[in-house]
Amino acid sequence: MIIVDSALQKHAAEGRPVKVAMIGAGAIGRGVAGQIVTRTPGMELAVIANRTPENAVRALELSGVSQWKNISTLAALNECLAKGITAVTDDLFLACEGDGVDIIVEVLSDVELASKVALHAFSCGKDYLTMNAEMDATFGLELRARADEAGVIYSVSDGDQPGVEMNLWRQVKSLGMEPLVCGNIKGLQDCRRNPTTQEGFAKTWNQGVKMVTSFADGTKISFEQACVANATGMCVSQRGMLGGDFRGHIDELCHSGRYDVDELRALGGVVDYVVGASPAAGVFVLATHDDDFHRFNLKLYKMGEGPLYAFYAHTHLCYFDVPVSAARIVLFRDTVIAAKEHKVDVVTLAKTDLKAGTVLDGIGGYHSYGTCENASVAVSAGLLPMGLSEGCRLLRDISCDEAIRYADVEVPAGRIVDDLRAAMLRRIAL
């Protein structure tokens, strides 16, 4: 980030801003817009595309932008880009086509729509930064492969937990240490939460109720940790991760008896989470070191006795770090986080007893929640990925907490997400 800020300042001084096309203008999108417009010299919010243009305009107004133009053609878009006027459109695909757009920043919550936009962006030769952990955990490896084939970068953003964990993992590895646990610190985990129970919180914080529900019921953290696993090559030690309450500081987790170094190494490292630990809202990496000299000095530098040493970030700031992520990609060709393997899936479990004929309402709904499972197990057992669950119709009754299989559902026809998932599995022969 220290290098990125200098590079952006240089671009600002030279009048060559990094031009961003943002797809989506919800709660996170409004924050991203504000960060780019008011806090990121050397970067320009060139386009906002949203299916409801009024929301895009609202994001601009909240950011203090007084001049924009509604457009519907490529010629009009390119004219705005040439004049430095922010373009607003309801055509998400058109936004990817503009001359001079350096990167697409996507903040959609819809996996099907986001995947279509990503593929179009690749075909237009545009780098693609997403905050859609749900999409990445489901078939991110395929998206990365297709981006590579197109000569562009596909990446999940910094700011939310996966990016913050990946930064920390990279830092720990650069110290010559061996990361064995990548973890997420939660304040609440209750798989029975639903849009009714979370309605008040969503209204208070001006966020979508299904998104808030996915935070509370454990689905979101499962997607986030699957992203980290697939980027680092780690796995889960059991379905759902170890999880559970831990009311101490993360430093204390090293000596809690929760983890065994030899077991962690045999697994290739694990992703995990704890509930109630401090620093709240942070992430952590637990690592080890075999060299006696360095272990002696780690103790000298107040890192403890080992064999596990705790590193942590005490915050994740969601949209605040998105512009820096975009600059890392455009200016330094540095991927923040993207799958290099497909090690962990997020599978679909019933949130309540469900009857045959029920059409699943997907992420953050009333019917189901997602949890992590090793991909080899999930695929061999035919388990339904949570990221593909919405719109599937149950063919039989499902009991509460039962894992739903492909054989239990009728999948909607014609979805690009199913094609991408199948292509990924063929690519890796799982």
User: Looking at the structure, do residues 214 and 304 belong to the same domain, yes or no?
Assistant: yes
User: Looking at the structure, do residues 18 and 137 belong to the same domain, yes or no?
Assistant: yes
**How many CB atoms lie under 10 A from the CB of residue 352?**
13
pLDDT at position 429, please?
Answer: 84
DSSP labels, 106-117: E--S-HHHHHHH
- Residue 209 neighbours by CB under 8 Å, 6+ apart: 195, 198, 199, 202, 364
Q: Which of 32, 9, 25 is nearest to 317 (CA)?
A: 32
pLDDT at position 1, please?
Answer: 65
**How many CB atoms lie under 10 A from the CB of residue 304?**
15
Domain count, the chain: 3
Mean per-residue pLDDT pooled into runs of 10, the chain (430 residues):
92 97 96 97 98 96 95 98 97 97 97 98 98 98 98 97 97 98 95 96 91 96 98 98 95 95 98 96 96 96 96 94 98 98 98 98 98 98 98 98 98 98 92
User: Looking at the structure, do residues 11 and 121 belong to the same domain, yes or no?
Assistant: yes
User: Looking at the structure, do residues 166 and 300 belong to the same domain, yes or no?
Assistant: yes
User: Looking at the structure, do residues 16 and 51 belong to the same domain, yes or no?
Assistant: yes
Given 304, 332, 360, which residue is the final one in a domain? 332
User: Looking at the structure, do residues 50 and 113 belong to the same domain, yes or no?
Assistant: yes
- Domain annotation covers residue 339: no
pLDDT at position 257, please?
Answer: 94
- Domain annotation covers residue 338: no
Domain that holds residue 362: 344-428
Residue 23 is part of a domain; what is its CATH number?
A: 3.40.50.720
User: Looking at the structure, do residues 313 and 400 belong to the same domain, yes or no?
Assistant: no
Residue 393 is part of a domain; what is its CATH number?
A: 3.90.1210
pLDDT at position 430, please?
Answer: 63
